[in-house]
């Protein structure tokens, strides 16, 4: 392992440790801890208006449903998921980054095969 990889690994672990320590914080009721990313309620407005919305996001430790790896779901990524991708506020990341990426690759591959099949069918029919 290079020293950079070791450093990255150590950084990852300390971030994970910090995320675990933040698990008891309730972003709907508690004051934001240092390093929290503030939520934009205008962007969250697509959700149930009667629901109490989070005031901020903090790094969260998640365990991948597929491979069991514990990983940080960074506060900035949560903000992106809920406010830009308009993910439901009651949904959480369930897969680690590498499982998410391989799932995405699988989907792209299935789509490519499907499109190839269509193209072949069209070619056969001379259109
Ligand atoms: Zn995984």
d(CA 89, ligand 1 centre) in Å:
22
Ligand 1 center to residue 62 CA distance, Å? 10
Confidence of residue 1 (pLDDT cuts 50, 70, 90): low
Per-residue pLDDT tens over the stretch 17-50: 999 999 999 999 999 999 899 999 999 876 667 7
**Ligand 1 centre and the CA of 82: distance in Å?**
21
Residue 78: how many other CB atoms lie within 10 Å? 22
Ligand 1 centroid distance, CA of 6 (Å):
21
Mean pLDDT (the chain) is 91
Ligand 1 mean position to 42 CA, how many Å? 32
105 CA distance to ligand 1 centroid (A)?
Answer: 14
First-to-final CA distance of the chain? 55
State in Å: Cα 63 to ligand 1 middle: 8
Ligand 1 centre from 16 Cα, in Å? 15
Q: State the number of CA atoms in the 13 A half-sphere of 71 facing the CB.
A: 18
């Amino acid at each position: 392992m290079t020293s950079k990889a070791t450093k990255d690994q150590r950084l990852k672990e300390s971030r994970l440790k910090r995320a675990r320590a933040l698990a008891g914080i309730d972003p709907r009721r508690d004051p934001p801890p240092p390093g929290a990313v503030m939520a934009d309620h205008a962007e969250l407005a697509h959700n149930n208006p009667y629901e109490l919305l989070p005031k901020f996001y903090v790094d969260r430790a998640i365990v991948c449903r597929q491979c069991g790896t514990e990983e940080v779901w960074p506060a900035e990524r949560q903000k992106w998921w809920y406010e830009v991708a308009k993910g439901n506020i009651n949904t959480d990341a369930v897969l680690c980054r590498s499982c998410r990426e391989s799932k995405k690759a699988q989907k792209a591959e299935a789509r490519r095969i499907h499109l190839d099949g269509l193209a072949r069918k069209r070619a056969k029919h001379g259109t």
